[in-house]
Amino acid sequence: MRRFSSVLTVIALLAATGAPAQAETRVVPESKAQLQLSFAPIVKRAAPAVVNVYASRTLRAQGMSPMFDDPVFKRFFGDNPFGMPRDRVESSLGSGVIVDPSGLIVTNHHVIKDATEVKVALADKREFEAEIVLKDERTDLAVIRIKERGAFPFAQLGDSDALEVGDVVLAIGNPFGVGQTVTQGIVSALARTQVGVADFRFFIQTDAAINPGNSGGALVDINGKLVGVPSAIYSRSGGSIGIGFAIPVSMVKFIVEQARNGGVVRRPWLGATLQTVTPDVAESLGLKRPQGALVTGVVAGGPAARAGLKVGDLVLTIDGIDVDDPDAFGYRFSTKPLGGVTRLDVQRGSATRPIEVPLMSAPETTPRDERKIDGYSPFGGATVLNLSPAVIEELHVNLSGEGVVVKEVVPGSPANRVGFQKGDVVLEVNGQKVDTTRTLARIAQSDPGIWRLAVQRDGQVIRMAFR
């Protein structure tokens, strides 16, 4: 406080002696108290690294044949001789943060999803084409790179684990496309896990105004360092009401490292399923409050099984950090580098013991044999994969030993109309077990009149019938 008082004294003397007024704003804050003067030095440090991201994709009109793109055809018949519906271009706007002087940029996956062209605009109005290096839907993060070589301004990465509720943060992005905008707030909460916008749910909550277009931008601390990437808001109107969520920079660091090492995300695999501890379960385990993650399934031969983890064990900590629920554990575990081990403190009965789990990726024990099912069966328009630990981990499927899993569904297709979803596991069709994608493709070509299916979704088996 004495230093802050002395700063005010200097400002008062400058004003009294007729010194230029602009000298009052050139003080760089060196403590939290001095931030009462201005956030401008922080913005000047961080804002140049925040970019606008323009993504576009071309949607092919239904019924358009690739023949219409042939140059010889266009030469004789023109671009659209039969009045067919034309292709249309959809655009999305978001933000990004340069995290490397070479032009490596982090943004949200949903900003550049399905994009065929990506451009970025820097704070100094320069525009560049960018290429997609990595997309990770599970974290809602993506990495793109500016195609042109150069030395670009970049953000220093901070420590999201050092944040505390009440800390001042700034959000920088391009809300509603109005241009780069800075908003200020505090950290409202940490480790928010009940926000369903990604598989790894562990968000920083802030009341700094975040609006559409801020996605993929920067959440910075009072040192101007990146601590999070704004990704979602809670809103009934579409605008900010003071409840925004950002992905912690610890996850950003993991994804950036994966981008630098080939652009393929390789996460450690636990080989076990975990369940939230309810008040009733906590009471039965002798806990004072609900905490930890309860082991409900273990894959034979997986890392958890090798480490000695058993059904009924309660995971309390990972590398000394408390675990409140399965989402918190999944976030911490997924950011560990492959190789080595991670230590879990596990309660079994009345005793607590340490367990070291090897950090290894999930194996693809069965080739995935990806196939897109065509035709008018209930599976038409679905892309399916054979199950393996790698596919189960990739698609976040509940443990299952057999069946064929749905990877994606084409909107408006027969599979979409009957209600198939990503992650559904097809177990049986008309009493016949579905063990491979080849089997399902063959069954889909038949015409039984009535289709009777057994499908596993979120661990529950659903039986349905269609004509």
Tell me which residues are annotated as active site: 110, 140, 215
Q: Are strands 181-192 and 127-136 parallel, antiparallel or unpaired?
A: unpaired
Please tell me the distance from the alpha carbon of residue 433 to that of residue 454, in angstroms, as a whole number: 9
Sign of the CA dihedral 385, 387, 389, 392?
positive
213 annotated binding-site participant: yes
396 annotated binding-site participant: no
Query: 158: closest CA among 204, 201, 195, 193?
Result: 204
First vs last C-alpha separation in the chain: 77
398 annotated binding-site participant: no
Q: Are strands 314-318 and 341-348 parallel, antiparallel or unpaired?
A: antiparallel
214 annotated binding-site participant: yes
Burial code of 64-74, b = ≥16 C-beta within 10 A, e = fewer? eeeebeeeeee
DSSP 143-207: EEEESS------PPB--GGG--TT-EEEEEE-GGGS--EEEEEEEEEEEE---TTSSS--EEEE-
DSSP 6-30: HHHHHHHHHHHTT--GGGGG-PPP-
What are phi and psi for residue 224, nearest 5 degrees?
Answer: 80, 10
Please tell me the distance from the alpha carbon of residue 57 to that of residue 50, in angstroms, as a whole number: 23
Please tell me the distance from the alpha carbon of residue 60 to that of residue 40, in angstroms, as a whole number: 46
Please tell me the distance from the alpha carbon of residue 195 to that of residue 374, in angstroms, as a whole number: 35
For residues 207 and 168, the answer to whether their CB atoms sit within 8 Å is no
Angle at CA of residue 240, ends 237 and 244, nearest 5°: 120
For residues 395 and 405, the answer to whether their CB atoms sit within 8 Å is yes
Query: 132: closest CA among 175, 174, 96, 171?
Result: 96
327 annotated binding-site participant: no
Distances (CA, A) of 125 to 50, 128, 268: 12, 10, 41
> Please, is 184 exposed, middle or buried when counting C-beta atoms within 10 Å of its C-beta (0-12, 13-18, 19+)?
middle
Please tell me the distance from the alpha carbon of residue 448 to that of residue 377, in angstroms, as a whole number: 10
Query: 97: closest CA among 131, 136, 52?
Result: 52
Would you list which residues are annotated within the binding site for substrate?
Answer: 110, 140, 213-215
Would you list which residues are annotated within the binding site?
Answer: 110, 140, 213-215
